[in-house]
Every structure is written in structure tokens, then in C-alpha cells.
Structure 1
Amino acid sequence: MKIRSLFTAAFLIFLVTAFYFFSKDLVEELDMKGSGPKPIRCKVEEVLDESIESEALDNTEVGYGLSLFSGGQLIKVKVSEGVHKGKTILIDNTKMNVHTNSNVVEPNDDILAFLEEDMEGKLIGGLLYEIVRTNHMYMLITAFFIILIAFGGMKGFKSIISLSITFIAIINVMLPLILKGHSPFTTSIFICILVTLTTFIISNGFTMKTFNSVLGTTGGVLTAGLIAYIMGNLSKLTGLGNEEAQMLLFVPGNIKLDFRGLLFSGIIMGALGAVMDVSMSIASAINEIESAKPNISSGELIGAGMNVGRDIMGTMSNTLILAYIGGSIHLVMILMVYNYPLRSILSMDMITSEIVRAVSGSIGLVFTIPITAFISGSIGRRRKRIWG
């Protein structure tokens, strides 16, 4: 047991180190500088003038509970970073007939602003971009980590490591590889397997439960990807069904992207978490049953795994469906308000993409159950006896 724990620790250290240097080189190789000015962090020192009026839009065609804001603020800010750090400028925060009051600032607020320079590089003004919200996000994430450790102890700490590696794998490995022209489909499959392997090893070490869960998850994710690929081709999906995808058409740097592949990649990554959960639950249940009753037959083990899978199948499918519906709720409401026919709604590229995404992920989740149950109850069990 001690040797296995040391081997697991050594493997994870090697994996994290390799991840770090590989992702660092990958990001440095990729030219993502883009073009145009970048917003600079500033601090609001004083609101010199404020004249903001609001007009309630209740009981109008626009909708209930909304207001129309107009006017603006004249604010004095100090630059907090960059070549102009420490300098103060005046910014005109103008609002003309907008439906949000979110960017009205107060003294000591941190903001992001585009700075204006003259021909000689002298700072002459600026334009408010956004209020800085990262501090609150860091607080929320820190609270989440503290809660994980408080309730989970070492398991919670391992979960934080797993989340960190997953984040690095997606942001510093998968996305740069896709931007460099690699296939989104194969890249996401590779990252899914890597994330699954790493997460399960961190949580459970090099055990047969880990081995069975990895195979079950891989089978479920591949099934989801295959279903999505087939339905995407049959439905002639373009991968350009939302504004964010269309914006990628105009990114600088002459980057060529496979938008349909990006759609399938998103489907695979979206299904991964639920599939991992189902696979580990079934593998753990079968492992516990076999430990309590070593002489149980493989058929009985597989049947027990299937029963466990059926119990969690409905709730996990709901999790996927509701997550995807939640992401498209505004669009669906707009279409309903304008009384679009159901056939027209379902035929839209974006709506069809979301349906394919949700249903493909759910099918992959369902297939994870028999795959994991069969492997854990038969193949994995025999290997356990050989290795143990």
C-alpha cells in the first residue's frame, strides 16, 4: 500500500510538471496578442458630476420591471498599471438610453478603461470599459476551496488539485492546440481521457476501481461524441449557431478554425463531468459489493451495477438537459414571445445544436452504465485477482 501511494505521488508530480512546461511552451508559441488597445486598470478617486435619469418601462411594450437609463458621470481616476501608472485623468461615463445601470461607479471602485494618448504618447483621457469584478470572483472561488477542504478534508484537497489540473488542461493545452489548427474533436477526446485519468488517480490512486472508471468514462464520452458527430452531419449543423462562434470568424492572426469540430468538442467536454460521476459511482458500488461478498458471480455483479446505474440515470440526465436549457433560455423565450412555430424553432441551427448537445450527452451517459458495469464486473474483476 505504501509503495503504491509513493508511486501515485511520483506519477502526479511528474504529470503536473510535464503539464506546466508543455502548456507554458504551447501558450508562448501561440500568437494570441491580437490587435488594438487593451483596457487598463484604474481606481475611481472622485465623481465630479453625475446626472443619470431613469424612465420606468412598466406596462409598456418593452416589458415589466425595466427602466431606461440616460445621462452620465464625469469621474476622476488614477491609472493603476502600465506606463501611465500613477497619473490621473477625467473619464466621461456616458449612458444613452440603455437598459442597465451596472456601470455607474462610486469613489474607490476599480475599473477597466481604454486610455487615450496624443501623437506624442501623452495621456489625454479615457473611456470606461467595465467595473473590475475579479476580486469578487476570487473571493467566491476561495470560499469554494475552503468549503471543499472543510467538508472533505484530504478528499476536498484532492478535488482542488483535480480542478486545477482540469482548468490548466483546457485553458493551456486544449484551446491553444485547437487555435494552432489541430482537430477540436480529437484534441477534446485526448484531453477528456487525460483529465479523467488524472482525476481518478488523484481521488483513488492506482486501483482497479480507477481503471474501470476510466474505461467506462472513455466509452461514454466516445459514444456521446459519435452520436453528436453523426447527428451533426445529418442535420448539417455549421457550428456557427451563436454569436460567440460567429465572432471567432473575425479574430486576428489568420487563425483557421473547424467550427463544426468545436461544436462536437463542446458536447464532449460538457458531458464529461456527468459521465465521470456515473462511471465512478457504478465502479465504487461494484467494488464494495465484491469486497463484502468475494464469491459473487460476475453476472450478479454486472446486474448490481446496472441497478445502481438505473437509479442515478434519471437525475444525471436531468442535470445535463437542464444545464443546456438554462444556457439557451433567453433565446427560447424570445422565440416564444414572437410566436415562432415550433417547427421553425427546432430547425434553427442554434436550437438544433443545443438539442444535439443535450441528447448526445445523455445518450453517452446512459451507455456509460453498461460499459462500466460490464468492465467492473468481469474484465476488471479478473485483472484484480491477477494483480492482487
Structure 2
Amino acid sequence: MNALFCLAVILFILMVVIGGKKGAKSFIALFLNFAVLLLTILIMTDPNANPIILTLIACTIISCINLFFINEVNNKTITAFVSTLITLAILLFFIVVVTEKSMIQGFGEEETEELSMFSLYLGVDFVKIGAAMIIMSTIGAIIDVAISIASPMRELYNHNQQVSRKELFSFGISIGRDILGTNTNTLFFAFFGGYLAMLIWFKDLSYSLGDIDNSKIFSSEMINILCAGIGVALIIPITSWITAYYLDKTREKSH
């Protein structure tokens, strides 16, 4: 029994004890998401495949797993799903342009020694691969914020069906403002946690701040964080408006 299996068992027990049936579904969703990502990467190695289209399909499937499989199909998951797709569509153009203009695609000079024995003529578009990586990195945070806003908005509507669309929208924005700071910090500290060894390496190599800032590895990760932060910021008004609109139209149909 290795450490990975022990940790997985502990996680499963905690998720079931605390989350019940939904916790068990969340645990299964982890492996389903991993399977989707692994299959996407395998197909992406085909030079004829379009990484952007594959990533959008994978993100759509991941959204369905995390929203509909875990929380079932209802008005909060539907609005969260639509909001997620709209936000990804808006981000897509922006991310592709930023990836191409910033030249962060491919490998950094710090990685050349480890890759020197391999051929770099892979026949794939590294600009699209870089954009796909950023999109994949943002999907989790976007889904999390979308459902975190749509769920309390639905609860408010269920307890007070006379609430106006404007009040619902303002309520969603208010929740989003509380979430925005914590999610942005989570993305930032996740970077430092994952790349702490690299930062220590930069210090040992006596990199100046300018060298660090112009390093392809560092720049690509910072752009990744900033794009994810933009996605988190965008999803707040989008989810608030779509959920308020959907709930208001539901009330009109019921009368």
C-alpha cells in the first residue's frame, strides 16, 4: 500500500463523511476529469488535431461532469454551465492573442539541457498548445465561481420569489466580490507552491529581477495566473446576469 493509495483512501473517506452522496460523486468526478484530460492530451499529439477545439470540447465535458454529474440538472447548474461556456468563448480569443504576442509558447532555456536528447520537431503548433494549457488552467476556477454565485442566488429566489431581477443581479455581484479576492489569491499562491523550487533555482543562479521577469517559464506561469484571474472576474457579472434573467423568466412563466 503506497502513499498515493493511502492519501486517496483518506480523501475518499473524508469526502463521503462530510459531503455524503455528493462527496462520493465529487471523488468519482476527479477521476473522470483526469480521464478526459488524459484522452485530450493523447489526441492532441496528432499533428492534424486542433488543440483549441479539443480543449474547448474537453472543457465542456469537464463542466458537465462538475456541474451536472455532481449537482444534477437544475436551474443553478444550467445557468452556471451557460455562464462558463460564454466566459470561455470570450477568454479564448484574448488568450490566443496574448500567447502569440508574448512568445511564451514552447520551452524555456532552463529546460533545454533536460530536453537536449529529444527531438523538438513534434509537428504541433505550440502557440495553440500554450493557449490550450491556459484555458485548461482556468476552467476549474471559472466553474467554481459560477456555481458559487448561481447556488445562493437560487436560494434567495426560492425564499423570496418577489425579489426583482435587479436585486438578484446585485446579490450575485455582492457574492462575487467576496469570492474574487480569495480565488485570485488561491491562483497566485498555487503558482508559488508549485514553482517554489524554480524560484530557489533562480536565486542560486543569481538571476536579477529583469532576468526572472523575462524568463519564459516565469512569464508563462504569470500570464496563466493573470488570464485565470481575468476569467474569474468575468464570470461574476456574466453568471449574475444570466441567473437573474433565467430566474425572472421562470417566475413569469409560472404566473
Q: Equivalent residue for 1:201?
A: 68
The structure with higher relative contact order (CA 8 Å, sep 6+) is 2
- Residue ranges of structure 2 left out of the alignment (5+ in a row): none
Deviations 1:136-159 (A, max 9, x none): 211211221121111111111111
Change (3 A) 1:302 1:167: same
Task: Give distance in 2, aligned partners of 1:216 and 1:248.
Answer: 43
Letter in 2 for 1:327: G
Match of 1:180 among 46, 62, 86: 46
> Counterpart in 1 of 2:173?
306
Which entry has the higher C-alpha Rg, 1 or 2?
1
Task: Give me the whole-angstrom Cα distance separating, in 2, the residues matched to 1:160 and 1:153.
Answer: 11
Partners of 1:154 and 1:364 in 2: CA distance: 30
Q: Which residue of 2 aligns with 1:372?
A: 239
What's the counterpart of residue 166 of structure 1? 33
Structure 1 residue runs of 5 or longer lacking an equivalent are: 1-133
Mapping for residues 136-155 of structure 1, pairs under 5 Å? 136-155=3-22
**Corresponding residue for 1:264?**
131
RMSD: 2.6
Shift of 1:359: 0.5
Runs (4+) off by over 6 Å: none
For residues 248 and 161 of structure 1, what CA distance do their matches in structure 2 show? 39
- CA deviation profile, 1:47-90 (whole Å, cap 9, x unmatched): xxxxxxxxxxxxxxxxxxxxxxxxxxxxxxxxxxxxxxxxxxxx
Counterpart CA distance in 2 for 1:249 and 1:362 is: 36
Counterpart CA distance in 1 for 2:72 and 2:116 is 40
Q: Structure 2 residue aligned with 1:243, among 111, 115, 122?
A: 111
CA distance in structure 2 between the partners assigned to 1:376 and 1:160 by the alignment: 27
Instruction: Confirm or deny: 8 A CA contact 2:164 2:248 kept in the other structure.
Output: no
Paired residue secondary structure (2:2): helix
Using the TM superposition, give the Cα deviation of residue 273 of structure 1 relative to its aligned residue in structure 2, in angstroms. Answer: 1.5
Map of 1:297 onto structure 2: 164
- TM-superposed CA distance for 1:228, in Å, is 2.6
Matches of 2:222 and 2:117, distance apart in 1: 24
Closer, same or farther: CA 322–248 of 1 in aligned 2, 3 Å: farther
Contact 2:100 2:127 survives alignment (8 Å): no
> Which of 213, 220, 228 does residue 353 from structure 1 map onto?
220
CA contact (8 A) 1:240 1:259 kept: no
- Other structure's SS at 1:250 match: coil
Distance change >3 Å, CA 301–CA 333, structure 1 → 2: same
Decide whether aligned partners of structure 1 residues 384 and 274 sit closer, same or farther in structure 2, where only a CA change above 3 A counts.
farther
Sequence identity (%): 26
One-letter identity of the residue aligned with 2:64: L
Q: Give the structure with the larger strand fraction.
A: 1
Alignment of structure 1 residues 1-388 onto 2, 5 Å:
135-171=2-38, 173-181=39-47, 182-241=49-108, 243=111, 247=115, 250=118, 255-379=122-246, 381-383=248-250, 386=253
Are 1:180 and 1:255, in contact at CA under 8 Å, matched by a contact in 2?
A: no
Q: Contact 2:105–2:126 (CA<8 Å) still a contact in 1? A: yes
Bigger helix share: 2
Number of matched pairs = 252
What TM-score results when the alignment is normalised by the length of structure 2?
0.89
Deviations 1:239-294 (A, max 9, x none): 323639x8499369x85333222222221122222211110010001101111111
Residue deviations 1:109-164 (CA, integer Å, cap 9, x gap): xxxxxxxxxxxxxxxxxxxxxxxxx8221121122112111111111111122222
Cα contact 1:239–1:261 (8 A) shared by 2? no
Deviations 1:194-238 (A, max 9, x none): 111122112222211111111222233344443332222221222
Q: Distance in 1 between matches of 2:44 and 2:218?
A: 24
Where 1:153 maps in the other structure, the secondary structure is: helix
